[in-house]
A and B are shown apart, each in its own frame.
Chain A
């Protein structure tokens, strides 16, 4: 009996450690994060140049307000998470965000991205403004296609990121068709989609976060962005096949 309890305790300790990579509050099931695509340029940059440059191209929902906003928003959290987990590989995350942009307007100015940065990976967060303005799905699709092509032709891998799950505005912003469009596009182009919508929805269903809250709660926004940043990091490590570079003692570090 004692032996059994010991085994159970050991097993639960092990499970606890496995989960510690993401604090239990915002763990995400594998099928929501992993995409089974290859980020070959990420892989190459890490293996050959021993560094990784990432650019986040996004709109308002890639930022947080306030003086500390930039360091608390998910791009900065992603940088911290990746540098922790790949401690021998310097990772730099640059943010190019501007509110109110549709996929089409982002796609048009996309080339400028490569003047200053040489990203190996671009995380393209889009769709929210398109859904708000109810841009035609045809145009949205065309813009996505053109944008992905531009980014790939300039030598970057692409991760698409869709909208936030926002229950309060659900009856006003028709995100559904745009979410579907982005999922289909990622599937057709064999690129990863960071399904922010599904992940946040999962957190909401699991009770990890209360997205129904209406009040001014900066803490909630910061925790969500932190979790998003780490989840994207997990996706990049998986699809870039960077497991060999992950710190051995990473689990211990973050669980402190």
Chain B
């Protein structure tokens, strides 16, 4: 293992916050987990998904952008599609684990109180449909919605990246236009057995492309804006507002302090279509983060934050491990004990397991000379190709 060093211009803040986002996603994925009280979704509108998608867009543009400049559209495009394929395989692997868990539950669970809830197992009766629909990314069990979104975003990314490198503002404008159109015309992809995608790709692409836009020079353009006092004040005020609204979700209705007209205005806060309130909340968080965590922050190369950075550098693997651990953790809570201390232990064990996996992957890659850490070879676009 190596101490983290920013080589080839990689911004370690991205790895740090993506790593933290992965931990938060894991904690949120364990149902009724008391530890998930610490995650940001309880204190405002947006949650770790926004962080994950934004940073994924940023790193994708950063890594494949360089490949596209140096090796051309075809090579970079092929690498992006290979990445999408890897994510698809990972998704199918997670689906297999999900099927294993649910099949086990189906044979052991017979509580008459929950006869209706057991209908969730009905799809086991028609595996032909279910498995095919899962392979088509239409059937997506709980907590397995982010990877299909990521796959679609990557498949469409080569031409977007091409456009970003020539007319960045135009590309961002197109993404915004698509977002508005999707809102206006209710565009979404169909899901199985009914409904549509939980994360609407037509809406969430905006955040991904915005991340990519930041990576190809947008961040530098925004820098003066971020220095404004007014930007800071607006961000702080908005976060305060979101916090108050979030607080109102947890106090009894009788003492609710949110006026009806405001409720009518802001609700529903639509996660499926990346509600503007959520997007704005993410932007406000990003403004504060960029301001108070400079790229040269000494802590970034300290050992304290290394575990999070390590997880962020192997985001796909760690995301999958996190989804699996959330399944397994919930299983343990049900089968062994759901007590408070057990929830804390499961949460901590899960994060330790994620860190250990990331360290293991890092070690493997260092054996193959693919470590993201310091190295003597000249930078090669492919090195980080697996980490977009």
A and B found bound together: yes
Chain A positions near chain B (C-beta within 8 angstroms): 31, 34-36, 59-61, 64-66, 99-100, 128-129, 132-139, 141, 164, 166-174, 177, 180-181, 184, 186-188, 201, 211-218, 220-221, 224
Is B117 a contact of A171 with CB atoms below 8 Å? no
* A132–B115 CA distance with the chains assembled, in angstroms: 13
* A217–B119 CA distance with the chains assembled, in angstroms: 18
Is B116 a contact of A128 with CB atoms below 8 Å? yes
Is A214 a contact of B31 with CB atoms below 8 Å? no
Query: Is B267 close to A, CB under 8 A?
Result: yes
Is A187 a contact of B253 with CB atoms below 8 Å? yes
5 smallest beta-carbon distances between A and B, as pairs: A60-B116, A170-B31, A221-B113, A171-B330, A61-B116
* Residues 184-207 of B at the A interface (beta carbon under 8 Å): 191, 193-196, 198
* A206–B327 CA distance with the chains assembled, in angstroms: 25
Contact with A along B267-309 (1 / 0, CB 8 A): 1101110000000000000000000000000000000000000
Which residues of B lie under 8 Å from residue A135 when comparing CB positions?
194-195
Is B115 a contact of A164 with CB atoms below 8 Å? no
Least distance between A121 CB and chain B CB atoms (Å): 19
* A173–B330 CA distance with the chains assembled, in angstroms: 13
Known: A173-B117, A218-B112. 6 other contacts (CB 8 A): A135-B194, A136-B196, A169-B105, A170-B32, A171-B31, A171-B101
Is A167 a contact of B338 with CB atoms below 8 Å? yes
* Residues 117-139 of B at the A interface (beta carbon under 8 Å): 117-120
Indicate whether A137 sits within 8 Å of B272 (C-beta atoms), given known contacts A132-B119, A173-B142: yes
How many B residues touch A, CB cutoff 8 Å? 48
Could you list some 30 contacts between A and B, CB below 8 A?
Answer: A31-B254, A35-B253, A60-B115, A60-B116, A65-B112, A99-B116, A100-B119, A129-B119, A132-B117, A132-B120, A133-B193, A133-B194, A134-B198, A135-B194, A135-B195, A136-B195, A138-B268, A138-B272, A164-B113, A167-B334, A168-B109, A169-B118, A170-B330, A171-B143, A172-B102, A186-B253, A188-B267, A212-B334, A216-B110, A216-B111
Is A188 a contact of B263 with CB atoms below 8 Å? yes
* A30–B190 CA distance with the chains assembled, in angstroms: 43
Least distance between A182 CB and chain B CB atoms (Å): 12
Is A169 a contact of B113 with CB atoms below 8 Å? no
Least distance between A144 CB and chain B CB atoms (Å): 11
Is B256 a contact of A187 with CB atoms below 8 Å? yes
Contact with A along B20-34 (1 / 0, CB 8 A): 000000000011100
Contact of A215 among B110, B120, B143, B326 (CB under 8 A): B110
Which residues of A lie under 8 Å from residue B326 when comparing CB positions?
171
Which residues of B lie under 8 Å from residue A220 when comparing CB positions?
111, 113
Least distance between B292 CB and chain A CB atoms (Å): 32
* A99–B334 CA distance with the chains assembled, in angstroms: 26
* Residues 76-115 of B at the A interface (beta carbon under 8 Å): 101-102, 105, 108-115
* A180–B196 CA distance with the chains assembled, in angstroms: 19
* A35–B253 CA distance with the chains assembled, in angstroms: 7
* A213–B114 CA distance with the chains assembled, in angstroms: 11
Which residues of B lie under 8 Å from residue A172 when comparing CB positions?
102, 105, 120, 141-142
Of chain B, the residue at the smallest CB distance from A62 is B116
Which residues of A lie under 8 Å from residue B271 when comparing CB positions?
177
Which residues of B lie under 8 Å from residue A141 when comparing CB positions?
268
Contact of B195 among A61, A133, A188, A221 (CB under 8 A): A133
Least distance between B145 CB and chain A CB atoms (Å): 10
Of chain A, the residue at the smallest CB distance from B105 is A168
Query: Is B264 close to A, CB under 8 A?
Result: yes
Least distance between B238 CB and chain A CB atoms (Å): 21
* A73–B32 CA distance with the chains assembled, in angstroms: 27
Is A217 a contact of B112 with CB atoms below 8 Å? yes
Is A217 a contact of B111 with CB atoms below 8 Å? yes
Is A184 a contact of B330 with CB atoms below 8 Å? no
* A135–B196 CA distance with the chains assembled, in angstroms: 8
* A133–B119 CA distance with the chains assembled, in angstroms: 10
* A166–B115 CA distance with the chains assembled, in angstroms: 11
